[in-house]
């Protein structure tokens, strides 16, 4: 509730009902003001921390890392030994176990060994694959800061656009009041059209509030993908959504580090993949080495029917394959591993080019946005403000038509919305640029600072002599 409206209410109450009614009205006005200030007030930092702490993807990555580490242990172990039980050389005429000297009951065991250093290499490959996950988690956290931060800023922009439009309605209410005065003083057709035009512009402002309210709730619902929304929001999402996020626009400090892209988590992850691919080449090269298997057996024999004792048999042997024909198998496997490694090297080069191009794009956008912000702050907004005042003065002196006055008021509102849009977009661009410069989420979060004081109407520009200053609110008196 503006100062002007509160004063009018208090004056009417004093005139009609006396001091007691005045106190009651003032209390009601303060309660309404307090209700307008109520909301959830999510700060950017707290929202980002909640998103990171409750992200299922990070937990999934931790489980995947543990899985790969467990596989590294299992794949570095020898295969289980194989046992065999045989009844050999049993005569088919009488199936007698002791009639023939070669009939025997044999127990055997064998153990296969890996080719060369393949077990150690398989273990190393799985460990290197597991080391990719911490880098992917670091990138996921910075991505969350980027995505959730952008959504938070969308909520902020919609929220403050609604507040700005509501605060600026008094400009068009003044126009309607002026048109009504003209209409009552001189019943002319043009004056009646002016009242209709003023009512039309007020209706258009209400439509803008509806549009921004739609954007506000859409952004809040998207934010709900990453943070848990309060249950009260779903019960009555119109009541507190105007102040869903804090009123202060955070300031993002731009990072600018040398060779930062080389330390980006995605680049580190690819480096681990390249190292893993090199190990895969070495693993395929083990295919040129033979694979050995040791086996042993013990055969039991029964004594002869005449009582002659028959000794048992013990056997021990080694078997191995001989990789002679390597052209169609081992050579091709090694080539495939080498090609895969080179492909990952090119993938790293491609990623670095993409990161560099995206970073430079954000810097270029930031420069243009800052130029626009300077232009609006130093030139466009002051001129629009002066134009509105001059148009109002000229209209009061019957030196300007009503349509020109309306255009001046519309320009004033639109320029302030543009100033808000530019300020929010600058912080978005800084977030995107810092994504490419940050090695981890802690470094990223450290660049976000909340301003100690921000105006209710976002950075409303006023002219004081020849300087432009930021006010903490605008009186509608």
pLDDT in tens, 308-343: 888 989 999 999 988 888 888 899 999 999 999 999
Averaged over 45-66, what is the pLDDT? 94
137-196 pLDDT tens trace: 999 999 999 999 999 999 999 999 998 888 888 777 777 776 676 666 654 445 677 777
Q: Quote the percentage of the chain above a pLDDT of 70.
A: 81
Count of positions (residues) in the chain? 477
Q: How far is CA 157 from CA 50, 340, 371, 412, in A?
A: 21, 47, 20, 18
Q: Is the pLDDT of residue 387 over 90?
A: no
Return phi, psi of residue 474, to 5°.
Answer: -130, 125
The residue among 32 and 205 whose pLDDT is bigger is 205
Residue among 387, 455, 58, 416 nearest 249 (CA): 455
**Angle of the 402-437 helix axis to the 189-223 helix axis, nearest 10:** 10
Q: Of all helices (H) and strands (E), which one includes residue 116?
A: none
Q: Considering the entire predicted model, what is its pTM?
A: 0.77
Of 151, 160, 150, 148, the residue nearest 213 (C-alpha):
160
Torsion of CA 227, 231, 237, 239, to 10 degrees: -120
- What mean pLDDT do residues 264-284 have? 95
In this prediction, residue 184 carries a pLDDT of 66
Burial of 407 (0-12, 13-18, 19+ CB in 10 A): middle
Nearest alpha-carbon partner for 463 in 386, 376, 373, 374: 386
Residue 77 CB coordination number (10 Å): 11
Q: Say what percent of the chain tops pLDDT 90.
A: 49
Mean pLDDT lowest among 378-382, 390-394, 423-427: 390-394
Q: Yes or no: say if 473 and 179 are a contact pair by the CB < 8 Å rule.
A: no
Residue 455, pLDDT above cutoff 80 = no
Least confident range from 152-156, 168-172, 399-403, 451-455: namely 451-455
Q: Is the pLDDT of residue 17 over 50?
A: no
Interatomic CA distance for residues 424 and 420, integer angstroms = 6
């Amino acid at each position: 509730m503006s100062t002007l409206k509160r004063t009018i209410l208090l004056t009417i109450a004093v005139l009609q009902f006396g001091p007691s009614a005045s106190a009651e009205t003032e209390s009601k006005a303060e309660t309404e003001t307090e209700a307008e200030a109520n909301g959830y007030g999510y700060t950017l930092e707290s929202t980002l921390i909640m998103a990171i702490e409750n992200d299922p993807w990070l937990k999934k990555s931790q489980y995947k890392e543990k899985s790969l580490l467990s596989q590294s242990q299992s794949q570095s172990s020898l295969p289980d030994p194989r046992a065999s039980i045989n009844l050999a050389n049993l005569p088919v005429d009488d199936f007698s176990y002791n009639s023939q000297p070669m009939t025997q009951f044999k127990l055997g065991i064998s153990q296969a060994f890996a080719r060369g250093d393949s077990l150690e290499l398989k273990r190393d490959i799985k460990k290197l694959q597991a080391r990719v996950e911490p880098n992917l988690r670091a990138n996921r956290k910075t991505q969350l800061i980027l995505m959730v931060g952008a959504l938070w800023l969308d909520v902020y922009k919609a929220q403050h656009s609604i507040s700005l439009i509501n605060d600026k309605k008094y400009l068009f209410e003044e126009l309607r009041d002026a048109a009504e005065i003209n209409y009552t003083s001189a019943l002319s057709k043009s004056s009646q059209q002016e009242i209709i035009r003023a009512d039309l512009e007020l209706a258009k402002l209400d439509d803008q509030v509806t549009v921004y309210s739609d954007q506000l709730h859409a952004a809040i619902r998207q934010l709900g993908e990453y943070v848990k929304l309060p249950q009260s929001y779903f019960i009555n999402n119109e009541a507190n959504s105007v102040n869903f996020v804090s009123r202060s626009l955070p300031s993002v400090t731009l990072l600018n580090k040398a060779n930062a892209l080389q330390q980006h988590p995605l680049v580190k992850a690819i480096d681990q993949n390249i190292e893993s691919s090199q190990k895969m080449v070495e693993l395929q090269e083990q295919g040129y080495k033979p694979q050995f298997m040791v086996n042993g057996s013990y055969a039991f024999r029964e004594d002869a029917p005449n009582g002659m004792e028959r000794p048992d048999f013990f056997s021990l042997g080694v078997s191995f394959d001989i990789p002679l024909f390597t052209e169609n198998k081992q050579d091709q496997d090694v080539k495939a591993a080498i090609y895969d490694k080179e492909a990952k090297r090119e993938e790293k080069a491609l990623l670095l080019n993409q990161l560099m191009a995206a970073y430079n794009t954000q810097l270029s956008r930031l420069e243009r946005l800052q130029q626009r912000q300077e232009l609006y702050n130093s030139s466009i907004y002051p001129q629009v403000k002066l134009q509105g005042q001059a148009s109002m003065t000229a209209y009061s002196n019957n030196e300007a038509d009503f349509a020109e006055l309306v255009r001046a008021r519309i320009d004033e509102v639109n320029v302030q919305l543009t100033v808000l849009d530019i300020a929010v977009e600058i912080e978005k661009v800084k977030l995107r640029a810092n994504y490419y410069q940050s090695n981890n989420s802690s470094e990223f979060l450290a660049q976000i600072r909340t301003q100690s004081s921000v105006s209710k109407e976002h950075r409303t520009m006023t002219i004081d002599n020849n300087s432009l200053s930021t006010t903490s609110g605008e009186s509608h008196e």
